[in-house]
């Protein structure tokens, strides 16, 4: 009988990741069942560091708004640019303009061609010493040659006053559409055409032929209908007259050998060119060439087809494509190109919505014909693909991508350099989270690799506001760390950039802020207009649920007590025991906090002075080593709760304590470690888990143990 009552223990001496799919009682030691806003490093599960909003990447205007750090009203794209001197800049498209940003400097606008505003999503790709801005199939790419000169047209628009060279000059001109009328009211011109114009909001449209000069020029438009659009006019008060035409300038022309000054494209001595790099939204730079995926069909000179055409620019040329360097990625399927990824110097992986392909032997060659003869196309994955641009990332020599409900899958290189798809998704341990991804918004998913971790921004549950969490896989532990969430986690685009000398992971948010991950030691930075700089702190709510503790004798157990080794910093934590039955949960501790001034021992030690005037911040056995600035001077009040004033009219105040005294002992981010014991109301079951949640500050779980004794031996229904 004594043996039956033997007290046994089961627990973990460290934590390395989570597995949500396997039964909690079957997990191996060190694995947890769930985690939220936790990092698993060095055997410890710890609240993640917070997100910050660097001023130099956000909307700051010191001359008008002082210290305020505001979001961009609308942000459309972000990338990095290293100039010929290897100086790095962040290129940011926001609020209709493009900015270049450098650490600890104010953002500065880059010039754009006349009439161009950026009000839709763009993709930046650095090629050679230039940056290409791809604006989708409806808008021509722009090129940044230098920070000083800003962005320019890929091909300059025809200018009747310019000098062109026969058999050499290239221009953009037409097609021209007839305008029925241009009305004007309150500074807005409304253009009406007799046929569908095919333009989109944000297009830069050239208008000519109006008798009133203010209506002629290059304007950024707003589409109001299939046959109408508007643009801003500042000087006219009447409708336009004359024979008026408009164009989005998507046709390209090259001067003939017989060209003479004054010849207009489309009229005489110009030949329409089909070798200019087409419009696109996905692109990659490989072997001194730009490669774009697009719906442009060079046979029809239109963008009406499926997006499965691939165009490679000429060697060392960002502007032209040779006719043999055009490929169609179509194996008889109905899917379209969504992304491409440079695998190495001569291999490019092409992702479609239902398949993945490898373009290989992409070697540098002397002629375009050699390239077309060498390149070969191989189907890697025939039955599933990626969901969106940015949903694939290179990790070393392997590729990881999100493949819809299948989850996060990979392609790996064999020792012989052969690329092969891995059928088992790496996300299999967190399939319950994958199942929660909103399929309506899978096109928003983005992947990144940084700090030996894979980051997947995804729209969980209701994804109507975009990616509201980040799933994190740790390659050092070869396991998942769970999910990051909070109001500051709303990723639109990831990007890598150097910060304080090391490469870090940033993201542009759907709220217009640009953020740096895992930098703040206390909470996430969020917008708070009550503060001088408009930035406040949101506490990080974290959680970790252990595996199911039990014993190897396979009998039912009575669970008696639990114990955790915790590291805490300004915590407010709760602990619960979760049994294997439905909703069988008991709270063991609720909203525990630690005092900054009280010591564990000796019990009668004088409380710590939070000003640290005694330089004793690091004295052992204090409950909590976090620090808060003492309150400032306080007005003295009468019994009627009115301030007491001096003869001069000023308020009498208490003495200001003078802030915090710093010194060699002062370390405000030091964790205290304790053993916390909990008594369970006896419950019988197959296993029991311990759940630790924390609502402020940070917490570390280093060890968890539960004690049990043998339960009933007969067959019975749990009571």
- State the pLDDT confidence band at 218, using cuts at 50, 70 and 90: very high
Give tens-digit pLDDT for 326-363. 788 876 677 899 999 998 888 899 999 999 998 887 76
Give tens-digit pLDDT for 660-700. 777 777 888 899 999 999 998 877 888 999 999 999 999 99
Give tens-digit pLDDT for 460-474. 999 999 999 999 999
Peptide bond into 330 cis (omega under 30): no
Q: What is the DSSP string of 388-428?
A: STTSEEEETTEEEEE-GGG-EEEEEE-TTS-EEEESS-TTG
CA distance 541 to 698: 9
Peptide bond into 46 cis (omega under 30): no
- Quote the percentage of the chain above a pLDDT of 90: 68
Range(s) within the chain of domains with CATH label 2.40.30.180: 175-248
Domain 175-248 is classified in which CATH homologous superfamily?
Answer: Ubiquitin-activating enzyme E1, FCCH domain (2.40.30.180)
Give tens-digit pLDDT for 197-215. 999 999 999 999 999 999 9
- State the pLDDT confidence band at 1, using cuts at 50, 70 and 90: very low
Give tens-digit pLDDT for 698-713. 999 999 999 988 766 5
Q: What is the mean pLDDT of residues 437-448?
A: 97
Element (H, E) at 65: helix 62-65
Provide the mean pLDDT of the chain: 89
Please give the pLDDT value at position 640: 54
| Cβ-based neighbours of 484, under 8 Å, separated by 6 or more | 36, 37, 48, 469, 470, 472
CA distance 536 to 538: 7
Give tens-digit pLDDT for 514-560. 999 999 999 999 999 999 999 999 999 999 999 999 887 767 778 88
Give tens-digit pLDDT for 597-651. 999 999 889 999 888 888 888 999 999 999 886 665 445 555 555 665 555 555 5
Range(s) within the chain of domains with CATH label 2.40.10.480: 386-512
Give tens-digit pLDDT for 359-375. 887 766 656 666 667 77
Would you tell me which CATH number, out of the four given (1.10.1060.10, 2.40.10.480, 3.40.50.300, 3.30.70.20), belongs to the domain 386-512? 2.40.10.480
CA distance 682 to 719: 12
């Amino acid at each position: 009988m004594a043996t039956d009552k033997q007290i046994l223990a089961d627990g973990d001496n460290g934590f390395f990741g989570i597995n949500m799919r396997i039964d909690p009682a079957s997990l191996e030691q060190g694995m947890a069942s769930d985690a939220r806003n936790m990092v698993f490093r060095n055997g410890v599960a710890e609240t993640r560091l917070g997100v910050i909003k660097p001023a130099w990447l956000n909307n700051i205007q010191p001359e008008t708004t002082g210290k305020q750090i505001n979001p961009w009203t609308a942000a459309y794209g972000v990338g990095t640019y290293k100039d010929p001197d290897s100086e790095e800049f962040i290129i940011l498209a926001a609020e209709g303009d493009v900015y270049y940003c450098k650490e600890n400097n104010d953002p500065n606008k880059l010039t754009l061609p006349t009439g161009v505003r950026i009000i839709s999503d763009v993709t930046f790709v650095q090629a050679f010493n230039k940056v290409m801005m791809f604006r989708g199939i409806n808008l021509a790419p722009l090129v940044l040659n230098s920070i000083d000169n800003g962005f320019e047209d890929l091909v300059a628009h025809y200018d009747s006053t310019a000098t062109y060279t026969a058999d050499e000059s290239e221009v953009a001109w037409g097609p021209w559409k007839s305008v029925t009328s241009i009305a004007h009211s309150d500074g807005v011109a409304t253009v009406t055409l007799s046929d569908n114009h095919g333009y989109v909001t944000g297009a830069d449209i050239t208008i000519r032929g109006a008798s009133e000069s203010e209506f002629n020029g290059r304007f950024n438009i707003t589409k109001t209908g299939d046959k109408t659009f508007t643009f801003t006019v500042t000087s006219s008060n009447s409708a336009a007259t004359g024979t008026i035409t408009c164009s989005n300038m998507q046709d390209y022309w090259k001067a003939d050998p017989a060209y003479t000054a004054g010849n207009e494209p489309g009229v005489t001595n110009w030949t329409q060119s089909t070798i200019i790099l087409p419009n696109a939204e996905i692109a990659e730079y490989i072997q001194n060439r730009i490669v774009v995926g697009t719906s442009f069909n060079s046979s029809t000179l239109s963008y009406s087809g499926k997006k499965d055409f691939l165009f490679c620019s000429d060697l060392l040329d960002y502007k032209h494509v040779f006719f043999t360097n055009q490929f169609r990625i179509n194996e008889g399927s109905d899917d379209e190109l969504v992304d491409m990824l440079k695998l190495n110097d001569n291999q490019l992986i092409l992702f479609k919505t239902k398949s993945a392909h490898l373009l290989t032997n992409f070697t540098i060659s002397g002629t375009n014909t050699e390239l077309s003869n060498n390149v070969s196309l191989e189907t890697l994955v025939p039955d599933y693909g990626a969901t969106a641009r940015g949903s694939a990332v290179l990790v070393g020599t392997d590729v990881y991508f999100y493949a819809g409900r299948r989850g996060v899958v990979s392609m790996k290189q064999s020792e012989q350099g052969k690329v092969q798809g891995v059928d088992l998704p790496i996300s299999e341990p967190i399939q319950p989270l994958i199942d929660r991804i909103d399929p309506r918004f899978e096109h928003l998913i983005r992947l990144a690799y940084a700090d030996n971790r894979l980051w997947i921004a995804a729209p969980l549950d209701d994804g109507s506001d975009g990616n509201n969490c980040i799933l994190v896989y740790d390659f050092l532990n070869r396991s998942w760390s769970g999910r990051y969430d909070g109001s500051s986690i709303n990723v639109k685009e990831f990007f890598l950039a150097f910060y304080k000398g090391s490469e870090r992971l940033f993201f542009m948010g759907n709220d217009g802020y640009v953020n740096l991950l895992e930098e703040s030691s206390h909470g996430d930075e969020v917008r708070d207009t009550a503060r001088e700089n408009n930035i406040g702190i949101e506490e990080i709510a974290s959680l970790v649920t252990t595996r199911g503790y039990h014993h190897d004798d396979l009998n039912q157990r009575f669970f008696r007590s639990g114990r955790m080794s915790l590291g805490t910093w300004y915590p407010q934590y709760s602990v619960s025991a979760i049994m294997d039955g439905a909703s069988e949960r008991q709270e063991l501790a609720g909203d525990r906090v630690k005092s900054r001034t009280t010591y564990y021992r000796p019990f009668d030690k004088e409380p710590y002075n939070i000003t640290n005037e005694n330089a004793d911040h690091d004295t052992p056995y204090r409950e909590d080593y976090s620090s808060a600035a003492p309150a400032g001077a306080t007005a003295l009040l009468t019994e009627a709760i009115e301030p007491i004033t001096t003869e001069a009219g000023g308020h009498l105040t208490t003495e200001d304590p003078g802030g915090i005294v710093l010194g060699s002992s002062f370390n405000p981010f030091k964790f205290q470690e304790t053993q916390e014991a909990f008594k369970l109301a006896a419950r019988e079951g197959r296993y029991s888990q311990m759940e630790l949640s924390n609502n402020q500050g940070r917490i570390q779980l280093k060890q968890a143990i539960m004690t049990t004794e043998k339960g009933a031996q007969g067959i019975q229904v749990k009571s």
